[in-house]
Chains A and B, each alone.
Chain A
């Protein structure tokens, strides 16, 4: 391989000499492959991650934003002040920000966006983010005062979500097809079913981006995705759907493989209200029957970090609780016998389309079978999964990756599909919301992680890895995915 790379370099040098050493200008366009096409382009109107992948930071911006390491940095707000009681936030906006239609972005737009998101009839997919806002007031064109009804330590974090971006009131009617944001790229063309093209916004208020044109190309089929990368039809493919192909890209001098962390806790969801899973011993038996490493190796070809609770390992507050549910089939059998199911259990395992679920499901089915739990696998499309499992709660077991950042709060919701909602847990979440002290927040979060781990609410499998492949000469792509974004603002070609 070293020989190969040297040969390549020599050839490149020769080619350079022959062309007379004229320095070529670096490329300024990029084609990014994506597996799923967004249903529309309004990040404030639907949960689909594909919308954020295309528009977050590229077309739309919020008051704050996620940096590639997951920290919160200023966005449209250049600074903010928080009152001592933690209830009032005064945001100072950046000067000279304009929407793509030329109109100025000011405090009125911020008020409009936040009020629209938290309105009664809002279709925002993450309304809890805005639940604590009591009022939004315009102080002057460049400052906004947000008053909360109770303390919320994660308010600035909430404002960084794609669901909280600032939109222009006059563009709302057509936002789904003609998004008008403040970002460095403008939507120039959307060929439905094929690609979305973005062009550089010449009037961008912030630091100018180096790309002039960006194309998102939608390739749902993993085999076609592999072919498109190999043929260099796409320059980068983020969240590459077939982890088995990554070693091959890694060995190819043309490409680099980006492996980072995501917010995707992949879990074997258990229907906590459905007998026999309302018995904690049965849930514990399931947890001990599962060999996480076999699932990571078999379904994800080694990409993924084992987790023992519903929390991202790269978060400073993370506790490694995998020991609570160590692989121990004998213990699992004993627990089942203790719970009165020595003869075994039969249940359903409903799987959505991603390969982590389909492949992981086959492995888990065989591991559960070894301790006497027989599962009937049914493979569902996303729409069916949402209907039957997520909304209908008609399932025994399911596998899914929860990709929202910091989503441990879902365990407090009684009507959430796995139906935990223990009052003690809800109390912890209330404490968390009321606390702004980082050390206290950490200890509450750790108590919450421990509680769901020891209650064996779900079987925690692994943190989904963010696996992407890109041309060797592209720099600035996010390796990690603190939110579902493909931020192109810092991306450039090296030659």
Chain B
């Protein structure tokens, strides 16, 4: 008993994946960066935090594939470790958003129209009214800048996104016959939310999660760029861009590589999100058939 037809077998899912070019490009790009982040735990060409002033501002060559920065650090290694920072911050932030936002949204839908619904949704509106950057500035003003505070800021911003999404889609499910029969069978709101509503909005959450993940990477880069994200010496793409700013005429490679890293990761995750939506959203899928 589910909201949409699950008759498609595994082979046809695979066929659909292969047919969706954007999904494949997205998956490949995301895999490259997630792979780079994972590999960086065990190996980077150079120590990403080791300064070597005499070899500063080297253009890309066989030794330093992406050149070196103004402290002589290897940019390729920094991008690998920076991927780790970006992915970790964005992933945890999205996790916070899902873990707090989805239960709030489900509770809100279960008590639709009640005071709990009002409190949760108006609270969401309040958080939504502040941009993530502003929240980050407020948090760092109190606790000082760090990667953890960037995670909290981006995470807080993600809560209403998931709360609204799950409330909206849960509301339409609450009117379905199978939910009605579950209620008749005597199941409480909590059990219905977990057993019947949550599995049926999972596909939407996955798609939204992918998109929020890419926004999180962008937000982390933005916060680091203005100095509110991960603090030196931990490499971060946003700070690499900020560092390159005054050197852009002298050493354009310092800006190009982290810039491309952000662009391609965000592009990859967005394409993946798009592709997943084509694959998972029942309405779109039925329309295509």
Residues 26-73 (chain B) with a chain A CB within 8 angstroms? 49-51, 53-54, 56, 70-72
Chain A residues with Cβ below 8 Å from B232 are: 361-362, 365, 377, 379
Chain A residues with Cβ below 8 Å from B144 are: 378
Cross-interface CB contact of A363 among B53, B54, B247, B250, cutoff 8 Å:
B53
CB distance from B130 to the nearest CB of A (A): 21
Q: Are B248 and A223 in contact (CB under 8 A)?
A: yes
Q: Are A378 and B231 in contact (CB under 8 A)?
A: yes
Q: How large is the interface on B (under 10, 10 to 19, 20 to 34, 35 or more residues)?
A: 20 to 34
Residues 293-340 (chain A) with a chain B CB within 8 angstroms? 294, 297-298
Q: Within 8 Å of chain A (Cβ to Cβ): is B105? A: no
CA distance A377 to B229 in the complex (A): 12
Residues 212-255 (chain B) with a chain A CB within 8 angstroms? 227, 231-233, 245-250
Q: Within 8 Å of chain B (Cβ to Cβ): is A366? A: yes
Assess A244 versus B246: contact at CB under 8 Å? Given A366-B51, A379-B231. Answer: yes
Q: Are B245 and A248 in contact (CB under 8 A)?
A: no
CA distance A226 to B231 in the complex (A): 26
Q: Are B233 and A248 in contact (CB under 8 A)?
A: no
Assess A366 versus B231: contact at CB under 8 Å? Given A223-B246, A248-B250, A298-B70. Answer: no
Chain B residues with Cβ below 8 Å from A377 are: 231-233
Assess A223 versus B233: contact at CB under 8 Å? Given A297-B53, A298-B51, A359-B70. Answer: no
Chain B residues with Cβ below 8 Å from A294 are: 51, 53
CA distance A226 to B50 in the complex (A): 29
Q: Are B246 and A362 in contact (CB under 8 A)?
A: no
Assess A244 versus B145: contact at CB under 8 Å? Given A298-B51, A362-B232. Answer: no
- Chain A residue nearest to B248 (CB atoms) is A223
CB distance from A297 to the nearest CB of B (A): 5
**Cβ contacts A350-382/B at 8 Å (1 or 0 each):** 000000000101110111000000001111000
Chain A residues with Cβ below 8 Å from B233 are: 362, 365-366, 377
Chain A residues with Cβ below 8 Å from B54 are: 297
CB distance from A205 to the nearest CB of B (A): 43
CA distance A19 to B148 in the complex (A): 66
Chain B residues with Cβ below 8 Å from A362 are: 51, 71, 232-233
CA distance A245 to B144 in the complex (A): 31
Residues 160-184 (chain B) with a chain A CB within 8 angstroms? none
Q: Are B50 and A366 in contact (CB under 8 A)?
A: yes
Assess A366 versus B49: contact at CB under 8 Å? Given A379-B145, A379-B231. Answer: yes
Residues 114-135 (chain B) with a chain A CB within 8 angstroms? none
CA distance A56 to B14 in the complex (A): 76
CA distance A205 to B56 in the complex (A): 53
Assess A379 versus B247: contact at CB under 8 Å? Given A365-B232, A366-B50. Answer: no
CB distance from A249 to the nearest CB of B (A): 11
- Chain B residue nearest to A294 (CB atoms) is B53
Q: Within 8 Å of chain B (Cβ to Cβ): is A70? A: no
CA distance A379 to B224 in the complex (A): 12
Chain B residues with Cβ below 8 Å from A376 are: 231
Residues 444-487 (chain A) with a chain B CB within 8 angstroms? none
CB distance from B45 to the nearest CB of A (A): 18
CB distance from B47 to the nearest CB of A (A): 10
- Chain A residue nearest to B51 (CB atoms) is A366
CA distance A298 to B247 in the complex (A): 13
**Cβ contacts B64-104/A at 8 Å (1 or 0 each):** 00000011100000000000000000000000000000000
CA distance A71 to B19 in the complex (A): 80
Chain B residues with Cβ below 8 Å from A378 are: 144-145, 231
Chain B residues with Cβ below 8 Å from A226 are: 246, 249
Chain A residues with Cβ below 8 Å from B145 are: 378-379
Q: Are A222 and B53 in contact (CB under 8 A)?
A: no
Q: Are B53 and A223 in contact (CB under 8 A)?
A: no
Q: Within 8 Å of chain B (Cβ to Cβ): is A429? A: no
Chain B residues with Cβ below 8 Å from A187 are: none
Assess A363 versus B71: contact at CB under 8 Å? Given A298-B51, A378-B144. Answer: yes
Chain A residues with Cβ below 8 Å from B248 are: 223
Assess A298 versus B53: contact at CB under 8 Å? Given A363-B71, A365-B233, A378-B144. Answer: yes
Chain A residues with Cβ below 8 Å from B51 are: 294, 298, 362-363, 366-367
CA distance A462 to B148 in the complex (A): 34
Q: Are A222 and B245 in contact (CB under 8 A)?
A: yes
- Chain B residue nearest to A388 (CB atoms) is B144
CB distance from B260 to the nearest CB of A (A): 20
**Cβ contacts A12-36/B at 8 Å (1 or 0 each):** 0000000000000000000000000
Residues 400-456 (chain A) with a chain B CB within 8 angstroms? none
CA distance A242 to B243 in the complex (A): 11
CA distance A365 to B249 in the complex (A): 28
CB distance from B282 to the nearest CB of A (A): 49
CA distance A294 to B54 in the complex (A): 8
Assess A245 versus B246: contact at CB under 8 Å? Given A359-B70, A363-B51, A378-B231. Answer: yes
CB distance from B136 to the nearest CB of A (A): 14
**Cβ contacts B138-160/A at 8 Å (1 or 0 each):** 00000011000000000000000
- Chain B residue nearest to A301 (CB atoms) is B70
CA distance A245 to B248 in the complex (A): 10
Q: Are B250 and A244 in contact (CB under 8 A)?
A: yes
CA distance A223 to B249 in the complex (A): 10
Q: Are B71 and A222 in contact (CB under 8 A)?
A: no
CA distance A365 to B71 in the complex (A): 12
CA distance A361 to B51 in the complex (A): 12
Chain B residues with Cβ below 8 Å from A363 are: 51, 53, 71
CA distance A379 to B223 in the complex (A): 13
CA distance A377 to B49 in the complex (A): 14
CA distance A485 to B250 in the complex (A): 30
**Cβ contacts A175-198/B at 8 Å (1 or 0 each):** 000000000000000000000000
Q: Are B246 and A379 in contact (CB under 8 A)?
A: no
CA distance A294 to B71 in the complex (A): 9
Q: Are A223 and B71 in contact (CB under 8 A)?
A: no
Nearest first, the 7 closest Cβ-Cβ pairs linking A and B are A242-B246, A298-B53, A366-B51, A294-B53, A222-B246, A362-B232, A297-B53
5 contacts between A and B (CB under 8 A): A226-B249, A294-B53, A362-B232, A363-B71, A366-B233
Could you list 20 further interchain pairs (A-B, Cβ under 8 angstroms) beyond the known A244-B247, A294-B51, A298-B56?
A222-B245, A223-B246, A242-B246, A244-B246, A244-B250, A245-B246, A245-B250, A297-B56, A298-B51, A298-B71, A359-B70, A362-B71, A362-B232, A363-B53, A365-B233, A366-B233, A367-B51, A377-B232, A377-B233, A379-B227
Chain B residues with a Cβ under 8 A of chain A? 49-51, 53-54, 56, 70-72, 144-145, 227, 231-233, 245-250
